[in-house]
Amino acid sequence: MKKKCPRCRKMYSVNKDSNHRPFCSEKCQAIDLGDWFFEKHKISRPIIDEDDLSIDP
């Protein structure tokens, strides 16, 4: 069974040992997870500096 990797768009053969689906390899999976983590981290990052929060008015 052949599938197309959503990350690198390469055709790869799926077998029962494949645990990187839907990606062709661990590398493509890691890149995708990395992108997701980076986006999430960027969004959840506070706009205000942590130094400002520690200052009592």
Binding site for Zn ion (CB under 5 A): 5, 7-8, 24, 28
Distance CA 23, CA 8 (A): 8
Distance CA 19, CA 29 (A): 10
The least distance separating Zn ion from the CB of residue 20, rounded to whole angstroms, comes to 8
The least distance separating Zn ion from the CB of residue 40, rounded to whole angstroms, comes to 22
The least distance separating Zn ion from the CB of residue 51, rounded to whole angstroms, comes to 42
Alpha-helical runs (H) found in 1-57: 26-44, 50-53
13 or 56, CB closer to Zn ion? 13
